[in-house]
Amino acid sequence: MSKPNFAPTALAVALLSTLALGACQKGGDAAPGTAQAAPAAQNALHLDEAKLPPVNHFAATDLDKAKNACADFGAYVNGKWQAANEIPGDRSSWGAFDMLAERSLAVRHQLADQAAADARATGIEKIVGDFYATGMDAAKVNAQGIAPLKDRLASIDALTDTASIAGWLRASYARGEGFLFGFGPEADFKNSAMNIAYATQGGLGLPDRGYYFDKDKQDKLAAYQAHVAKVLELSGVPAADAARQAKDVVAFETRLAKASKSSEELSRDVSLYYNPVTPAQADQLTPHFAWTTFFQSQGLAVPATFSLAMPAFHQELDRMLADVPAPTWKAYLRFHTVDEASPYLSDAFADENYAFYGKVMRGQKEQKARWKRVLGAIESGAGEAFGQMYVQVAFPAESKQRMEQLVQNLRTALKARIEKLDWMSPDTKAKGIAKWDSFTPKIGYPSKWRDWTGLKTARDSYIANVLAANAFNYQWELSKIGKPVDRTEWGMTPQTVNAYYNPMRNEIVFPAAILQPPFFDPKADDAVNYGGIGAVIGHEMTHGYDDQGSRFDAAGNMVNWWTDADAKAFAARTDKLIRQFNGYEALPGIKVNGKLTLGENIADLGGLATAYDAMHAATAGKPDPITDGLSRDQRFFLNWATVWRDKMTPDYKKVLVATNPHAPAEFRAIGAPSNLPAFASAFQCKAGDPMVRADDGRVVIW
C-alpha cells in the first residue's frame, strides 16, 4: 500500500480482481506489434539456485496434531509454523506469498548484478543494469541531495493564481508525474474492444478517505501531518513554516477525501469508474480545469468522450482551484513532489519515507536493504523488461504444460457446477456458460514482449532513470487511448507472486512466480496441486461470476445478463457470505468487512469447490495414495490452508481491513472450507463443530 511514486494512479490495476493483497505492479505490458524473442545476451544470464531462499512445501510434519482440525483448522495446519517463524524486520507480513516474493527478489538480485556488471549490455539488460548500478551508488545519490528536484520546486515557487496552478498540473501530467487524480487508458466498459481515457479520484497521501475522519485512525492522521512537516522541512522550508503548511496540506487533503469514494464503495461498485462525458460537458463541470486544454497538453487528440469517473471529486477539486489560496496549493504540490521522489533521493528523504509509510503505517521494523528498494524501483519503471530476463532463468517449460492441463480440468469442473445449479434459471445459465466458453487463460509470461526501444537510461543518475521511465511509460499508456485493446497485454509482471481476473477481457492470468510450491509443484501429487494452484485457478475463474465480475458478459462488456429472479437468488446467497465474514474478528474490536471482501470470498468458495471436483475427476478410479497417514482429500484441504499461512503486523492488518478487498489470510484458510461438506467428511467433523457451518448459515453459490 505504499504510495505509487511519481506515477498517476494505476487505474487498470484497480479494476483487476487479484488473488492476494500484494500490490500488483503494472511496470510494463506487451505493446502492439512487438513480437520479439528474448535477445541473446552477450553473457547469457544464469541463476545460482543454491543462493536462493528455500521453497515452502506442504509438509505433514508442520501439522499440530494436538489441535482439532474441526475446531481450529488454521491452528491445526499453521499454528506450529506461526510459532516457529517471525516476521522479518524489513517486512510487515510473512507467509507463503511473502516467501515466494523474497525468492523472486533473490532471482532478480542475481540478474541485476549480472546486467550491471556487463558494460556492453544492450536493450533490456542495459535498462536493468543502468537502473541497478545508479541505484546502488549510494554515495552519488547522497551527494545529490534534493538537487535533482531543484527546477520542479522553483516552478512551484513561481505559482501565483488559479491559471498558473492549472498550467503546472498539466505540465506535471505531461511528464508522467501527475498525482492529483488518476489518468490513463482502459477498455470502454460498454465496448470492451476499444480503449478510452479515464480520469479518476486521487491526490491523497493516506490509503483511504476514512483515514481523514475515522476516530480509530486519528493517530495515523496526526503522524501523517508530522510527516508532511518533516518532508517540507527537508526540502528547505523553515521549521515553523513547515508545521503551519503541513496543517494546511492535511486540511486540503481532507477536502479531497470528503469528495472521494471509499475503498469499499469502489471495490463493490465497479460502475463508479464509468461515467462517459464529452469534453465540453466536463468543462462545464470543472470551469477552472479545462479538459479540452488538458488533452491537448498531453499531446492527445481531444476525444469524443472520456470517463470522468468520479464527477463529485473533480468538481470539488475545481472549486479548490478557485478558492484555496495559492500558498496552500504550493505547499501541497511541494510536499507531494518531494514525497513521491523521496525513495530515489538521498538517505534523509528515503529514511523519512520509510519512517512513515513503512514503520508507522505498516508496522515494519527495519528499512529494506538498498538492493531490495532498487529492485522495487526497477519493478515500477521497467518491470516487464526485467520479467523477460526472469523467465529465461526461472520458469521451466514443463510448468506451462502442466498448468494448461490443470486449467482445462478446472474449466470442465466449473461448467458442470454451473449446469447443476439449482437456484438459476436456464436462461441465465446459458449466458453463464457462454461466458465460461470464452475464458482466456494466460500462463507464465506474455506471448509478445513489450518494446522498450526509446527508453533512454544511463549510468549518471538514479532519479534521472526513474523519471525517464515514468515519462516513457506514461507516453506508452497514452498511446493506447482511442485504439483497439491489445488482448495480449498483461497487467502483472511474470515475477509477481499473484494472479488476476480481468472482467473486460474475461481472462485469467497466472504469472510465472506463483507457479512454485506450495501453490504448484510439478513433482507433487494431485492433492497438493489441486488444493494449491487448482483452487487459485478456480478462484480466478469464479471472479467472472462474483458480485462485480458477473456484471460483465462473455465479450467483457458491462451488460446485465441476469434475470431479476436469478439476481435476487444470487444476492440472498452473497448476503450470507457477507454475514459469515462480518463475524471474523481481525484485531481486538475490529471485524473483517464482509462487504468489502465479498468478491474475493465468493471467488475462494467457488474456487475451492471447483478444484475439489476437478481433483476427483482427475483421480477417478485411481486408489487414494494415503501419504503420511493423510488421505487425498485431507491433503487437498491442508495445502489450501498452507497457501494462506501468514503473520502480519497489527498496523498493516489495520490498513488492509480498512482498504483491501481480500480478508486477512487466516480467515481465508478457514472461510471457504467451513462451507464445504467435503471438508467435514475429510476430517470426520460433526455438526456443531466450529469448522462446520450449520445448514442455515452454510453458503453455496457456484
Provide the binding-site residues for Zn ion, judged by CB under 5 A: 17, 19, 600, 603
Which is nearer to Zn ion, 600 or 666 (by Cβ)? 600
- Number of neighbouring beta carbons within 10 Å of residue 404: 12
> Cβ of residue 539: shortest distance to Zn ion, in angstroms?
6
Q: Which SS3 state, helix, strand or coil, does residue 529 take? A: helix
**Alpha carbon 296 to its chain's center:** 31
> Cβ of residue 46: shortest distance to Zn ion, in angstroms?
35
Kindly give the residue spans of alpha helices, DSSP state H, lying in 530-563: 535-543
Which is nearer to Zn ion, 497 or 603 (by Cβ)? 603
> Cβ of residue 508: shortest distance to Zn ion, in angstroms?
10
> Cβ of residue 540: shortest distance to Zn ion, in angstroms?
7
Which is nearer to Zn ion, 19 or 70 (by Cβ)? 19
> Cβ of residue 17: shortest distance to Zn ion, in angstroms?
5
> Cβ of residue 492: shortest distance to Zn ion, in angstroms?
12
Grid coordinates standing for 17? 480482481
> Cβ of residue 201: shortest distance to Zn ion, in angstroms?
23
Which is nearer to Zn ion, 200 or 548 (by Cβ)? 548
> Cβ of residue 531: shortest distance to Zn ion, in angstroms?
17
Which is nearer to Zn ion, 19 or 513 (by Cβ)? 19
Number of H helices, E strands in the chain: 28, 12
Which is nearer to Zn ion, 17 or 162 (by Cβ)? 17
Residues in the chain: 702
Q: Which SS3 state, helix, strand or coil, does residue 191 take? A: strand
Distance CA(655)–CA(651), nearest Å, equals: 7
Distance CA(410)–CA(505), nearest Å, equals: 19
> Cβ of residue 268: shortest distance to Zn ion, in angstroms?
14
Grid coordinates standing for 116? 550491471
- Number of neighbouring beta carbons within 10 Å of residue 289: 23
Which is nearer to Zn ion, 19 or 277 (by Cβ)? 19
Which is nearer to Zn ion, 199 or 701 (by Cβ)? 701
- Which residues neighbour 504 within 8 Å (Cβ) at sequence distance 6 or greater? 15, 186, 187, 189, 192, 485, 552, 556, 557
Which is nearer to Zn ion, 381 or 538 (by Cβ)? 538
Which is nearer to Zn ion, 10 or 16 (by Cβ)? 16
> Cβ of residue 376: shortest distance to Zn ion, in angstroms?
23
- Which residues neighbour 297 within 8 Å (Cβ) at sequence distance 6 or greater? 170, 171, 173, 174
What type of residue is 106? A
What type of residue is 297? S
> Cβ of residue 536: shortest distance to Zn ion, in angstroms?
9
Among candidate residues 558, 560, 540, 543, the one with its CA nearest the CA of residue 431: 560
Distance CA(560)–CA(547), nearest Å, equals: 12
- Number of neighbouring beta carbons within 10 Å of residue 623: 7
Distance CA(326)–CA(389), nearest Å, equals: 47
Which is nearer to Zn ion, 19 or 685 (by Cβ)? 19
Which is nearer to Zn ion, 17 or 172 (by Cβ)? 17
Which is nearer to Zn ion, 603 or 672 (by Cβ)? 603
> Cβ of residue 499: shortest distance to Zn ion, in angstroms?
8
> Cβ of residue 51: shortest distance to Zn ion, in angstroms?
32
Distance CA(615)–CA(412), nearest Å, equals: 11
Q: Label residue 325 exposed, middle or buried (CB < 10 Å: 0-12, 13-18, 19+).
A: exposed
198, β-bridge pairs: 184, 307
Q: How many CA atoms lie within 13 A of 44 on its CB side?
A: 4
**DSSP conformation class of 454:** T
> Cβ of residue 134: shortest distance to Zn ion, in angstroms?
36
Q: What is the pairing mode between strands 191-200 and 306-308?
A: parallel
> Cβ of residue 328: shortest distance to Zn ion, in angstroms?
40
**Alpha carbon 237 to its chain's center:** 35
Q: Which SS3 state, helix, strand or coil, does residue 423 take? A: coil
Which is nearer to Zn ion, 230 or 539 (by Cβ)? 539
Distance CA(497)–CA(516), nearest Å, equals: 9
Q: Which SS3 state, helix, strand or coil, does residue 72 take? A: coil
Q: Would you list the DSSP string of 560-628?
A: --S-HHHHHHHHHHHHHHHHHHHT-EEETTEE--TTTTHHHHHHHHHHHHHHHHHHHHHTTTS----BT
Which is nearer to Zn ion, 250 or 605 (by Cβ)? 605
Q: Which SS3 state, helix, strand or coil, does residue 533 take? A: helix
> Cβ of residue 245: shortest distance to Zn ion, in angstroms?
41
Q: Contact 557/189 with Cβ under 8 angstroms?
A: yes
Dihedral sign computed on CA atoms, order 349, 352, 493, 548: negative
Distance CA(389)–CA(513), nearest Å, equals: 13
What type of residue is 213? F
Looking up cell 468489502, which residue turns up?
A: 596
> Cβ of residue 333: shortest distance to Zn ion, in angstroms?
36
Which is nearer to Zn ion, 129 or 549 (by Cβ)? 549
Dihedral sign computed on CA atoms, order 468, 470, 476, 482: negative
Which is nearer to Zn ion, 17 or 634 (by Cβ)? 17
